[in-house]
Every structure is written in C-alpha cells, then in structure tokens.
Chain A
Amino acid sequence: MDIVVLVKQVPDTESLVQIGDDGVSIKTQDIKWIMNPYDELAVEEALQIKEAQGGTVTILSLGPEKTVEAIRTALAMGADQGVHICDPAAEGSDALATAKLLAAALKDLPCDLIIAGQRAVDEDNYQVAAAVAEFMGIPQISMVNKAEVFDGKITCHRTIEGGTAVVEASLPALFTTQRGLNEPRYASLPGIMKAKKKTVDVKTVADLGIDSGSVGAANRKIKIKALNLPPERQAVRMIDGEAAADKAAGLLKILHDEMKII
C-alpha cells in the first residue's frame, strides 16, 4: 500500500495571531510554526497502515522553505520520503491553485491512498483535500475518525452532526482526518537521526508542468479585502453575592428577566 500524506505548516494553535501592517495578512515574525494538527493524525494513520500492511508513506507539502521542517517532522515520525513544492511563484496560492499543484505532484508518485487533514487550522478552508480528490478523479471521505483498509477497499467512519456515517470506497481514494482517529506518535531521537538521511524532493511550479500564471498570490480567486480582530465584547459584568444561590439568582435575573435569553 503506497500512501501519500498531504501536510501543511501552520501557526501553533497556542499562538496569538496578529494582523500585519498591510491589513490583509498576518504578522509572521514571532510565530511558532507547527505541522497542522489534523495532518499529524494523517501521518500517524498512514504509518499504522504501513506497519500493518507494508508499503510506503510519502509526505507531500507546498510552502516556503521553512515548510521542510514539517516534512522532516513527519519523516522523523517514520515516513519514508518527502516531496516539497517550493517556489516563490506558488506562494499565496488559494485552495484551488494549491490543490492543482498537489494533484500535479501526485501524478508522479505511487499512490493507492491519500490522507489529509480535514482542514488547515490557519485559513480553515476545508477545500484542498476535496479539490485534490476531484482533480485526481478519485473518491473522497471527509472527517474520518476510524478507517480500515482491506482488499482494495477502504471503510471509513465519517463524522456527521450527531453521529457517524460508515462509508466504503474503492481504492485509490482520499480521506481526511478527524480528532479521535488515533494518537499521533512523537518523533523519537533515532527517528530524528534517520530522518536526516531521507530524501526530500524539491519541485518548482514549472517542474510540475503548471502555468505559473494560474497559481500564486496574484491569481487568487479569493481576495482578502481586510482582516479584523473579532469584535470586542463589552466589559464583563460580574455577578456577586453571599452564597452560590444568591449569585445563581442574580444570573437568572439577568438571563431571564432582563435579557430574555432563557
């Protein structure tokens, strides 16, 4: 089973995100960059399938030079090789252009199964994986918290509102991860040492046969007009009282009598 995992490097979820001076991008200095948490689940799942059934795990990522750190993390977890689409012409690509580039790189990789995070926790677009599946002409299953690969087929538990839908697809296929799928391993020290010797193939937009006039920041369909901080709330109104019952009555007076929320 040859598996490709799509990985993105994103700001740490514990980071404070600040708006840059141009008002349409974020300040990138002072940010700690990590592998997208949903992609860690994807790497772990790929490694578990490989450990059980054999095959290879390839990490595919698009991003600036420092993105190789996320690829190396995945290699240190146990993946076999990396492919890094690294080209200034690709920077700032929107979801569709990103998917187009990833799909072009996938054409040259042995691949029975693609695993990706359900979304990257930066732009929260939920689009790249689905668009990759469409460009590849293969089925997709989203937000999976249980997957079984068997006999040329994959069975996934796709989380939906209030439960899960069990879905079967023929391979090759793509699925995206949901929390609960597994507990991603940490890279071990020997793993980190080994990762240094693994290959990361660097590709440019031209290498992939894609017209640079169709990707990158200048060719986004989604134009960011402004970034804002969420509206500030009014100062908190503290509810005091002697006993718990007094405070509870005070809260209900506001929520029920004044605001009519409950």
Chain B
Amino acid sequence: MAQGVFAITEQRDGELRKVSFEVVSEGRRVADGLGADLTAVVLGSGIEGFAEELKKYGPDKILVADDAALADYTTEAYTNVLAELIQSSDPAVIITGASAQGKDLSGRLAARLDAGVAMDCTEIKLDNGNLIYTRPMFGGKIVADVEIEGSPQIVAIRPNVMDAVENSKESAIEKPAVQTGDVKTKNIEMKMETGAKLELTEADIIVSGGRGTGGDYAAIEELANELGAAVGASRSAVDEGWRPHSDQVGQTGKTVSPTLYVACGISGAIQHLAGMSTSKYIVAINKDAEAPIFSKADFGIVGDLFEMVPAIAAEVKKLK
C-alpha cells in the first residue's frame, strides 16, 4: 500500500528555488496530517549543500540525486530519475511546484506513472485521511475542490501561496544511484533577463499598469523600485506593445498571488481579474470611479495615475 509523501524540489544556477521550501513545508504538513513520512528529493549536479538547507523544513529523509546529466532541467532525465525513485519508494502523494519546471514535469510523470494530477493548487485540505485539493480553473474565475483517485497522487502547488515554515529536523540523507536514461533534448543556453528583474509569479508586491498608462511606465517602474516590487501589465498594454508578454497578468498571461497588487490605470476586464484575484491585498488606482476594478479591490483611489503613482512613491520614500 502506497504511503508517505514525496516533495520534489527545484534548483537552478546553484540555488534552491523559493518554491522548493514551500513544497517541503507543505509536504511536512500533509505528511503529519496523514501520519506519514516526508521525503524531499533534490536533483542536480554537485548539490550536496542543498540537503542542509532542506533540513530546515523538516523532511524525514532527503534523496540527493546527483549526476552531471541532471545539472539543468530536462523533462526526460528528470522524469526517468524521479519515476524510478517513486516506483521504489511507492509514495501516496507527490508534491511539486506549479512552476515552469513543475508544470512541464507533472504531466509527463503522471503519464509515466498513470497518476492523477491536481495542477496549480492553492490549498490542500485533509478530510478524514483524504486529501482535497483546491485549484483555480478558468484562470481563477472558478475555484474547484478536487480529489484524486488511486495512487500516487501528484499535486503541483502554486508558487508564492503556501508558507515556507522552518521546522528543523535531523533528516536522513541518501544518495541513490540514478539512471538518467535516453534523453533526446539538450540545453543549449539560458538567457536570463538582465538586471534584478523580479519574476511576477514570485513577487511579494506587484505594481501593474494598463491602458491608462498610455504606454508610459516610468512612474510605475519608479514606484515598483521603491517598493522592491515587480512590474506587471494588462493584456491591452501588452497587445499595444508597451510591455513584453512576460509581464502580462491575466487568464492568457500569468496568474499571480502577491501579498500586495497595485493596479494602476487598469479598468478590470474579466480576464485580467481572473489572473490577480488571489492576491492578498489589492489596491486600485483609476480615473474612472465606475471602473470594475474597484469591485475587486480592497483599497481604491479615484485619481490620475500620473499624479497618484509618483505621490505614493514619494510617501514610500519617506518610510526609509
């Protein structure tokens, strides 16, 4: 009978990604609820130090899959290695991040293991030993509670939603021999955006601009800079070519869950609201007092963003 929880972590460029700690922490909570053991898995090359970092989040065991062929993520090598580790340990639940890597990996692993996946979950509930996964659908217009039949169950959790709670444990560390198998893809290079650009899906604060900016993002960037925030955009701003596609928040862009979302000159089209409605707090700034965005906001200011945004930036500066 399958039992235990696997938490699949993620590393890039010599660092564990933040979602890894959320995955292990949520794994600890689920394992405790099921009265089961938690195994954290880390894959990479020359990654011994990661086990020490992961201990802080309380796994019972850490599997370190260390191989030169696992240095950078490829679907096939990671699926081959994980499928083998999973088949030999037979966990009931596998938790991963709903990151670019986790989204790519989950479907492939699910097909390999004949397992159901609950994708991009915002909550895992325990109900008499059953797990209920809460996941937004239709870009967040609807929230579904789903159960998965059979085992293992794969759950990918939305980054930035669940807390990473330190809960240190003297975890057992194992280094299994791995077979990366037949790999038909090759990583050529990584092209990272220059500067300290914050990733929208991982940001604590997002300042977002829409049609109301008329394409002028200087004030929004200045406020984002003062707040240590990422800059987002509505679809119309992206369609106008004012911002890159990677900045788009909404049903056909990124779904974000920051602590604070500041919507500037965004009227609040359904498809935009769908992408940011799980933000903890929403501030709306718009000239039009009737704009739909105000019905979804916690705090609202009616005013010209070109006056309001610099004024807010000036106030934030005063705090320093």
Contacts and interface: CB of A to CB of B under 8 A. Distances in A.
B189 A166 contact: yes
Nearest to A246: B311
Given A158-B100, A159-B100, A161-B201, A166 B308 contact: no
Contact of B271 (A14, A221, A251, A255): A14
B308 A131 contact: no
A121 interface: yes
B178 interface: no
Contacts of A141: 75, 185
Contacts of B2: none
A170 B184 contact: yes
B104 A140 contact: yes
A68 interface: no
Contacts of A167: 74, 185-188
A227 B144 contact: yes
A238 B302 contact: yes
B252 A169 contact: no
Contacts of B73: 165
B69 to A, nearest CB: 14
Given A164-B191, A166-B187, A179-B252, A96 B110 contact: yes
A256 interface: yes
A122 to B, nearest CB: 6
Interface residues on A, range: 35 or more
Nearest to A142: B104
B218 interface: no
Nearest to B193: A163
A123 B303 contact: no
B103 A126 contact: yes
Q: Which of B73, B251, B310, B311 has the most CB of A within 10 A?
A: B311
B174 to A, nearest CB: 27
Interface stretch (A72-80, A192-200, A229-237): A229-237
B70 to A, nearest CB: 15
B298 A236 contact: yes
A124 B298 contact: no
B253 interface: yes
A228 B143 contact: yes
A104 B114 CA distance: 16
B108 A133 contact: yes
A166 B308 CA distance: 41
B36 to A, nearest CB: 21
Interface string B302-320: 1110011011101110110
A254 B279 CA distance: 17
Contacts of A158: 100
A135 B144 CA distance: 28
Given A125-B117, A221-B150, A227-B142, A131 B107 contact: yes
A138 interface: yes
Contacts of A230: 136, 140-143, 277-278
18 contacts: A17-B138, A95-B110, A99-B111, A124-B120, A124-B138, A128-B107, A131-B108, A134-B79, A140-B75, A145-B245, A161-B100, A161-B202, A162-B199, A165-B190, A225-B146, A227-B144, A228-B145, A245-B314
Given A168-B188, A178-B245, A179-B252, 20 more contacts: A14-B269, A19-B142, A133-B75, A134-B111, A161-B99, A162-B193, A168-B185, A169-B184, A173-B184, A179-B238, A179-B245, A220-B149, A227-B137, A227-B144, A233-B296, A236-B284, A238-B299, A238-B300, A251-B315, A252-B312
10 closest A-B pairs by beta carbon, nearest first, are A130-B107, A221-B116, A127-B107, A163-B192, A248-B311, A134-B111, A131-B111, A180-B245, A244-B307, A244-B311
